[in-house]
Amino acid sequence: AMLDQYAGHLNLLKSTRSAYQHWRQADNNLKQLKENSQQNQAQKQLLEYQIKELNELSLGEEEFAELEQEHKRLSNSGELAATCQQALELI
């Protein structure tokens, strides 16, 4: 910086510094976009796999309704177990 000041290149120094800062920001943005793209690709692959698995199951409406009921029952049993555990801790 001292040499640039002596040579009268302060404006060039400022513009170079500014260009470098813009480049660093653009580089960081690019890295973030690449990372997001990779995450999106992984999510897409997972969803495609899950759709394939569901399609292979070929559940009928009745089977789906039965699974939904069982899921609700099991979900409620988990909540019931947690409530019972809390009650036991209070005793």
Domain count, the chain: 2
Same domain, 80 and 41: no
Same domain, 33 and 74: no
Same domain, 16 and 38: yes
Same domain, 49 and 64: no
Same domain, 9 and 39: yes
In tens, the pLDDT along 42-87 reads 999 999 999 999 889 888 889 989 999 999 888 888 888 888 988 8
Q: Give CA separation, 64 vs 43, 54, 59, 70, in Å.
A: 25, 11, 6, 10
In the chain, helix, strand, coil percent, each to 5?
90, 0, 10
Determine the length of the chain.
Answer: 91
Checking if the pLDDT of 1 tops 70, the result is no
Same domain, 4 and 45: yes
Q: How far apart are CA 7 and CA 59, in angstroms?
A: 79
Same domain, 4 and 38: yes
